[in-house]
Amino acid sequence: MPEQNPSVVTTRDGAVARITLNRPDRLNAITIPMMQRLRAALEEAQDEQIRCVLLAANGRGFCAGQDLTVLARQHDHHAPGDIGKILTDAYNPVIAAIRDLAKPVIGLIQGVAAGAGWAIALACDLRLAGRSARFVPAFAQLGLVPDMGGTDALVEAVGYARAIEFLLLEDAVSAEEARTLGLVNAVVDDAELNAAGDAWARRIAALPPAGVAQTKRLLRASAGHSGAAALRAEAWAQAVAASDPGHRAALDAWRQRRA
Ligand code: T3D
């Protein structure tokens, strides 16, 4: 029997697959089962009939990052350092699946993209933002480091000086500023986001696929992403950061605000 309310939904329209994050009441905050589903959906998109993938989200936000209610519960029962294993086993494979997929993944971002949600958006090959999009670093306030590939991808996109400013000093970057910085490729009205994404995906899907696949592979290689090594380094650093009492205090404060 099909699951009611799956956290990730995939649909197909010809050669375009649309993968949609589907926890809108939590602003699509991420959990381990959700990331396992996202990874499976990306693996299904390896089907050679699919030539372009849209990564979208239901509701008013793209993704609010790690589900902090779940994270607080994990810390109640496990060592904070286990966060590194969660990244390695469940979250980082999603980023590797996007990077390694032999076809472009276009992120469609409306509303907030915070923490790991912002990193997932950044992992996409192209990003189209609705005017409501807001990029919220969120990691430092929680005593954490950027993860899910956010470190190397951000430095690659905007350079070290702007990256560290964004991560340590900024509350949020608007869609327009993200476009100026090169964090997104284009900004459209929210009402146009799906149609604009479909149009890009159909154009890419109509191109001969071997050239598209090799273009992505070459650009990924020449972008200098340290790839798997950077993901491993983030997982280790996140375990260190999460073991600091300052992280626990920030998480408790978030839980109290929501109680
Ligand atoms: O395991 C690991 O690897 C850990 C890795 C962690 C990496 C990270 O992702 S760290 C960053 C985690 N995310 C955040 O710190 C963001 C927390 N959320 C917020 O700061 C705000 O909610 C937003 C700025 C994202 C949006 O604000 P706003 O005013 O538009 O919406 P809201 O009212 O705050 O949120 C709407 C609902 O979503 C609300 O639930 P309610 O009150 O309607 O029942 C809120 O609790 C829920 N929500 C938002 N973010 C999260 C969340 N629930 C769980 N986890 C969240 N991250």
Q: What is the pLDDT of residues 56-96, one digit of tens each?
A: 999 999 999 999 999 988 888 777 778 999 999 999 999 99
* Best residue among 26, 30, 232 to mutate for probing ligand 1, ranked by most atoms within 8 Å of CB: 26
Q: How many CA atoms lie within 13 A of 171 on its CB side?
A: 0
Average pLDDT over residues 133-153: 96
- State residue 222's pLDDT score: 85
Give 225-233's long-range contacts (Cβ < 8 A, gap of 24+).
Answer: 225/99, 225/149, 225/152, 225/153, 225/156, 226/152, 227/96, 227/99, 227/152, 228/96, 230/149, 230/151, 230/152, 231/87, 231/88, 231/92, 231/95, 231/96, 231/148, 231/149, 232/88, 233/151
Q: Cα(139) to centroid of ligand 1, in Å?
A: 12
> Residue 227 — pLDDT band, cuts 50, 70, 90?
confident
In the chain, where does DSSP find H-type helix? Answer: 32-44, 68-77, 83-86, 92-100, 116-123, 150-158, 160-169, 175-181, 193-205, 209-222, 227-242, 245-258
Average of per-residue pLDDT values in the chain: 94
pLDDT at 78: 75
With a 6 A CB cut-off, is 258 part of the ligand 1 pocket? Answer: yes
**Atom of ligand 1 lying closest to residue 136 CA:** 24
119 pLDDT exceeds 90? yes
Which of 1-15, 121-135, 211-225 holds the top average pLDDT?
121-135
What pLDDT sits at residue 77?
78
Q: Which atom of ligand 1 is nearest to the CA of 74?
A: 1
Q: CB–CB of 46/103 below 8 Å?
A: no
